[in-house]
């Protein structure tokens, strides 16, 4: 199986410029992912509407919109995008809310471990690719089923 995740586009949203710079620099050195960063959740949503994006990382607390609300909107726009929360204010209640509300893939605490972050991103992108392939196979099966139903109708017409 070819690695379709190597050139994936990842959107990172955080209200702290230093976090965005740090993540973009690290991922730029360690991966071939296309990294797009945004200080504004609204601007990130506009980008996500227009572009192919495989994974989104969002800060939990942002002034314009909290991370759960932002990721819920991402889910509405493109449900196949893998969603990750990055937060310095981890607590069990918020983690459960994030998982239940936006179908979160991972909840990562600041400061993050770079090696763990790479594994989480790789696993998330692989999950996204597997789900995409599953959807394609289901579409093929549905088409084959529809073709068989059409063939069955033709056979029935022939004998009636």
pLDDT confidence tier of residue 89, bands split at 50, 70 and 90: confident
Q: Do 8 and 33 touch, CB atoms closer than 8 A?
A: yes
Total-model pTM? 0.86
Sole residue written with tokens 């586009």: 9
**What is the predicted pLDDT for the residue at 28?**
95
**What is the predicted pLDDT for the residue at 1?**
45
Residue, of 82 and 94, whose pLDDT is higher: 82
Compute φ and ψ for 91, nearest 5 degrees: -150, 155
The CA angle 91-28-122, to the nearest 5 degrees, is 55
The C-alpha atoms of residue 58 and residue 12 are separated, in whole angstroms, by: 6
- What are the tens digits of pLDDT across the range 101-152? 888 999 898 899 999 999 999 999 999 999 999 999 999 999 999 999 999 9
- What are the tens digits of pLDDT across the range 51-79? 999 999 999 989 999 999 999 999 999 99
Q: How many residues are given for the chain? A: 160
Q: Tell how far CA 50 is from the center of its chain.
A: 15
């Amino acid at each position: 199986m070819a690695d379709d995740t190597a050139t994936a586009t990842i959107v990172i949203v955080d209200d702290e410029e230093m976090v965005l710079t740090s993540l973009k620099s690290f991922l730029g050195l360690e991966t071939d992912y296309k990294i797009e960063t945004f200080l504004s959740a609204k601007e990130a949503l506009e980008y996500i509407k227009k572009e192919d994006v495989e994974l989104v990382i969002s800060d939990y607390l942002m002034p314009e919109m909290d991370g759960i609300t932002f990721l819920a909107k991402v889910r509405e726009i493109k449900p196949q995008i893998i969603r990750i929360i990055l937060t310095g204010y981890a607590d069990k209640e918020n983690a459960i809310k994030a998982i239940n509300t936006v179908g979160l893939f991972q909840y990562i605490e600041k400061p993050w471990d770079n090696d763990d972050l790479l594994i989480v991103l790789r696993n998330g992108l692989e999950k996204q690719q597997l789900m995409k392939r599953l959807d394609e196979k289901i579409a093929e099966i549905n088409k084959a089923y529809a073709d068989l139903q059409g063939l069955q109708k033709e056979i029935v017409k022939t004998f009636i």
